[in-house]
Amino acid sequence: MTPILPDTYSKEEKEEIERRHQRLIDAWQTRKEAQDLEAVNKAFYFAVEAHKDQRRRSGEPYIYHPIEVATIAAHDIGLGRTSIICALLHDVVEDTKYTLDDIREMFGEKVERVVDGLTKFDNLEGAESAQAENFKKVISSLSYDIRVVLIKLSDRLHNMRTLDSMPKHKQLKIASETTYIYAPLAYRLGLHAIQIELEDLSLKYTNPTIYYNIRKRMDDARGKRMGELRDFIAPIEAELEKNGIKARAEIKERSINSVWKRMMDKELAFEDLYGSFLVRLITDCPQEQERMECWKIYAVLTNCYRPYTKKLKDWISFPKANGYESLHAVVMGQTGNWVEVQIRSQRMEEIAEKGFGAYYKYKTDSQTESGFDEWLKKAQDLIGSESDNAIEFVDNFKLDLFSDEIYVFTPQGKMMTLPKGSTVLDFAYYIHSEIGDHSIAANVNNQLAQLDRKLTKGDQVEIITSESQHPQEKWFEFLATATAKSRLRSGIKEYRRTFREEGEQKYEEIMRKLDLEPSKANRNEVMNAEKLTSTIDFYYQVATGKIDERAIRNVLKPQSSGNNFVRYITFGLLGNNRDKEETSSITSSGEFDFNVSTCCNPIPGDDVIAFNFPGEPLQIHRSNCPKAIQLSARYGNNIVKARWQPKSEIAFLAELKITALDTAGLLNRMTNLLSNELKLNLHSLHMEAKQDVVEAAISIYVHNTKELDDLIEKLGQLKEIQKVVRKNN
């Protein structure tokens, strides 16, 4: 007996609800046994009752929405009984009096779990972004049930289709979310039809002028282009029949958003853009014959028309991570216009349009893992390794798993897909964390490459490792993927953990020397001053000398301001100590010893800053020296202002970097200027020519900044020299 619909609906609405119900059943593509129909009908009437008092902003019954979401899931994605039930119930817990316990009791644990994944968080007080938290919840469901994401995409598509009734600010918010997260997610799951509709609808609300302009141009061009393409197809069909190849031809048009993106990328007007309308050739053959049949069709195509070989894209030999397979060719048509042609099998066509559902429909037990399986594993790994910060989680997920891809090869010829922009070090960490942690370089296409080398499509990469190598903080600058960064972070933590015992011993020795207790409270005080949150990092920095006796003393036994009674110290170099690597000793008009740091090589005339640490000579740096800036931030109480003596007869080492054109006699003219004209002593000169450009590094002794400025000016007057700068080291 069919349940009676609640009286909160009008007669017309009841008829419409039943009509949509039947349309849902008709759209259901998988098997429909009596027990399946009974379960779906039970969920349908339960949802109708639960939402009976609710209306959408448009005024229509709310129940229309879950029915349409279930219809999209059934028809456009090809999902089955459990997914249809969950789609019908996806808003019940969020919007009605019913709870997850009620769902579990009536429909079982599987349905409850999926509905829970689809239910937005109620209370997100204190959360940095409610949107990001809910995105994270949906994306995290990839680790346990992909149906949550598929139903959420169906939900988003219907919301976008009915966005007209929302106020403008809501339209922009929802459309922007769709562009940022949902359309790329649909693409990654191979749901091409859903992806392009989401993108088009997003463009409609974010940039309606462009949307309607391109739609009108597509409408105006359709008749002419369709006629041209029908004429284009005729000789291909004749040649296919002649060669006994079974294939059908279809004319397709690109989505409005796709046309707009191509116009922007190529900087072309609509009229100059080929590919707005294209031809698709589809062969229906056994799966084991697909590749051969597709290439036969390509041979027929190129017998009829001249190909643009640089535009050939072979997604059959190298399928995309979302399972997409096709040959893309561009040929010159009879009218003098380029025509894009896509060649694929019927199986490839279904996967291209319906993605995930179609992929698993065709997958066999013996089939090797596809790019889609690998992508899903990467997604699950990323979900399992990410932090609690929802914004960072979503950004990293988008960076790693939504970006364009490149494929590279291992030395054994195994193909790997990586996000575009990945480096050698990203590749190493994708292979294994241990390989990444011990990487020192790589052979890329049999040529030595550094860890920060960006990879390009088709590179063959062999990672070179060393047991003595260890993961380093600076490597974060080399990495483009969140997966590799996460593994590097873990590697650094494990490496630093090995220094704990040594760090504890050094810490206790320093505390005994300072006559202080090595207590937890004292340790935490030093950690706070050094802005450290982990004891692993603290003991590592103590063990390696980054936190030393001076740093601990400065925190736990700060010097009184009386020690810094000298506000200005006048000094000058009385003798060079050129063999000393770190500093050169100088004395002053007071009772202080000084060291001039070679990290920045200050010379008379530079603004300088001095640091006074107990029991050590004053350290003199240029005030803009990175090390001085770091010391100033950490030991501000130890700063002593300093200035040069008015005159100095002693020369100081300065370094210059020169860029010049590679011409005959350049070196002779430079050394003649330095030695004969300016009478300066040259310490070292290194020159390297690359094609027609010379890079030179000069170390020279000068007495002050004026002398150095004169040298830079005169070097710049040589016609070959393009640029002269002082090195800051």
Q: Which of 18, 36, 60, 95 is catalytic?
A: 95
Q: How far apart are CA 700 and CA 684, in angstroms?
A: 7
Give the closest residue to 438 by CA, choosing from 477, 487, 480.
487
Q: Cβ atoms within 10 A of the Cβ of 260, count? A: 20
Q: Are 178 and 418 in contact (CB under 8 A)?
A: no
Q: Cβ atoms within 10 A of the Cβ of 449, count? A: 19
Whether 662 is catalytic is: no
Q: CA 189, 192, 196 angle in degrees (round to 5)?
A: 120
Taking the chain, what is the end-to-end CA distance rounded to the nearest angstrom? 86
What does residue 188 show for φ and ψ, rounded to 5 degrees? Answer: -65, -25
Q: Which residues contact 622 (CB under 8 A, 6 or more apart)?
A: 600, 601, 602, 606, 607, 608, 609, 628, 728
Q: How far apart are CA 441 and CA 462, in angstroms?
A: 9
Q: Which of 94, 582, 662, 709 is catalytic?
A: 94
Whether 94 is catalytic is: yes
Q: Which residues contact 512 (CB under 8 A, 6 or more apart)?
A: 518
Q: How far apart are CA 633 and CA 622, in angstroms?
A: 15
> Which tokens go with 208?
């309606």
Half-sphere exposure of 425 (CA within 13 A, CB side): 25
**Distances from the Cα of 430 to the Cα of 143, 475, 487, 707, angstroms:** 19, 15, 9, 53
Q: Are 21 and 44 in contact (CB under 8 A)?
A: yes
Q: Are 150 and 189 in contact (CB under 8 A)?
A: yes
What does residue 214 show for φ and ψ, rounded to 5 degrees? Answer: -70, -35
> Quick check: helix, strand or coil at residue 639?
strand
Q: CA 500, 505, 508 angle in degrees (round to 5)?
A: 120
Per-residue HEC secondary structure of 138-157 comes to HHHHHHCCCHHHHHHHHHHH
> Quick check: helix, strand or coil at residue 644?
strand
Q: How far apart are CA 368 and CA 380, in angstroms?
A: 19
Q: Please report the sign of the dihedral spanned by the C-alpha atoms of residue 665, residue 667, residue 671, residue 677.
A: positive
**Distances from the Cα of 159 to the Cα of 53, 178, 200, 348, angstroms:** 20, 10, 14, 29
For the chain, the helix, strand and coil percentages under 3-state DSSP, each to the nearest 5: 50, 15, 30
- Judging by beta carbons within 10 Å of its beta carbon (0-12, 13-18, 19+), is residue 526 exposed, middle or buried? buried
The secondary structure element, H or E, covering residue 621 is strand 618-622
Q: CA 462, 380, 492 angle in degrees (round to 5)?
A: 55
Instruction: List, by residue number, the catalytic residues.
Output: 94-95
